[in-house]
Structure 1
């Protein structure tokens, strides 16, 4: 059966242009940066909408009794979840890029940090949606299990749910002819819930890692700033050392000129004395 997913939306993040503004380009550089931030914020809004759609579809799956509509909702949920996963990694890369471009500019840094905080909140919202769905899935699986084993303890139910759908216990129940139909239906339901739980565990692990990666960006940002500050400090020291060397060279040149002048004066005095010694006796004799 073909159907159109009412939750599917055409959306693709635009790549953020890397720009390096030199003198006279600061205005253009900031405009380009803000265009990138607007692109990110549009993506964040779409990501939040996808999370809302996932929540709606999950609630439908928990309450749907028609098998055909249930399969349709499940396919829609898989499609929306895949779109959210693809988008969240695009957002991660673009936000990281924007933070790198913003280093040293407080106005840009504020915009990039605002986008990062929005993304963290959206990830946290998504995690809450998945946790709630996981718990509701488990409760439904437990109810289905108790249809076959109403006298089972909580620990036994938990073990059956965790054991790939409780295959062994359901197989034993199938041996009871009076309950064969109930056991088959319950087994299929629990197995389906178990597969849902496995997918949820994977999604939640990815979201946790993504959240940690976005938190880590703050540390990386600080390290980048410290590296730049160190480079500026080293450059300043080099300039100061260069100025010091220049001052020494100037002083040396001045001393050299003074010494040269002294030598010229001394030489002139020597010549004057020689002239006096030679010329005066001759004049006297004459």
Structure 2
């Protein structure tokens, strides 16, 4: 089949590689979660910053892995859509595709949950810090600031009175940046999840239908060619039989002619002898004495 690796061994090798990449992604998510714990629980700024850098590096790598896995799973979906259901490998191709899509979907959901939890924990920490430096803040003010980084100038003005407050402001600013990045990551994960579960696009489906029709036509053409080949052989056999019958008929005619030719002199001789016998009998009858007449 054009454009599709008909070797099931190659297909299974590809799906095994994809599965390993998904497993690598899952391991990355575990490491991301560990670094997030260090960021939230560390009392050392240097330790927290180091963990944040490591986390960003792993996030970048994980993003690339997820996009790669999604593209490769979608490629299998696209290829499977062009494989006729009569193909002997159709069942295993579909099973492997569904398995990989489910596995990748679960990893995406796990990652989304990890990021959502980290965002909630980050907001909780920001709220506690805000309340420490501004004990009189209402819950609405805290919620507004945590949700909206535009409130920074007000918060900054309130807490710049001490070095501790300055450090708190710097920490809160970092956390605001973290929240933005987390929100972007969650949005990316949602887009990947949605794309992963989309059916083959309408344009691709049109191409697939054309290719399937072309393959069907090719198969029918091949069948027709085979039938024509059989018909040709049968026609040749029929003509051969006709020639054989004609030869046999001619041979029979020749044999009859030969028999007639060979028997004709004998027949003529028999006829001549019969005629001579008749001539001998006739005079004898004419010479015999007449019967006496009655007076």
Coarse TM-score class (shorter-chain normalised): 0.5 to 0.7
Q: Could you say which residue in structure 1 is the equivalent of 2:138?
A: 153
1:1-286 to structure 2, matched below 5 A, reads 19-21=4-6, 29-103=7-81, 104=83, 105-164=90-149, 166-174=151-159, 177=161, 180-217=162-199, 223=205, 227=209, 231=213, 235=217
How far apart, in 2, do the equivalents of 1:230 and 1:101 lie? 11
CA distance in 2, matches of 1:192, 1:223: 46
Distance 2:62 2:146 in 1: 28
Asked which structure has the greater CA Rg, the reply is: 2
Consecutive unaligned residues of structure 1, counting only runs of 5 or more, are 1-17, 22-28, 247-286
| Structure 2 unaligned blocks of 5 or more | 84-89, 229-295
CA contact (8 A) 1:160 1:169 kept: no
Aligned equivalents of 1:85 and 1:223: distance in 2? 28
CA distance in 1, matches of 2:8, 2:207: 19
What displacement does 1:223 show?
Answer: 4.2
1:96–1:217 contact (8 Å) kept in structure 2: no
**C-alpha contact 1:137 1:193 (8 A) present in aligned 2:** yes
Tell me the number of residue pairs that the alignment of Structure 1 and Structure 2 aligns.
214
TM-score normalised according to structure 2 size: 0.65
For the residue of structure 1 that corresponds to 2:136, the secondary structure is coil
The C-alpha deviation readout for 1:187-227, integer Å capped at 9, x for no partner, is 11211110110110110110010000001146779947982
String of CA shifts for 1:209-252, please: whole Å, max 9, x gaps.
Answer: 0000001146779947982697379849x98xx9xxx9xxxxxx
**Structure 2 vs 1, CA of residues 182 and 166 (structure 1 numbering), >3 Å: closer, same or farther?**
farther
Give deviations 1:123-143, integer Å, cap 9, x for gaps: 000000000000000000000
How does the TM-score come out when normalised to structure 1? 0.67
Question: Offset at 1:78?
Answer: 0.7
Which stretch of structure 1 is more off in the superposition, 227-236 or 122-131?
227-236
Runs of 4+ that moved beyond 6 A: 218-222
Q: Distance in 2 between matches of 1:68 and 1:172?
A: 26
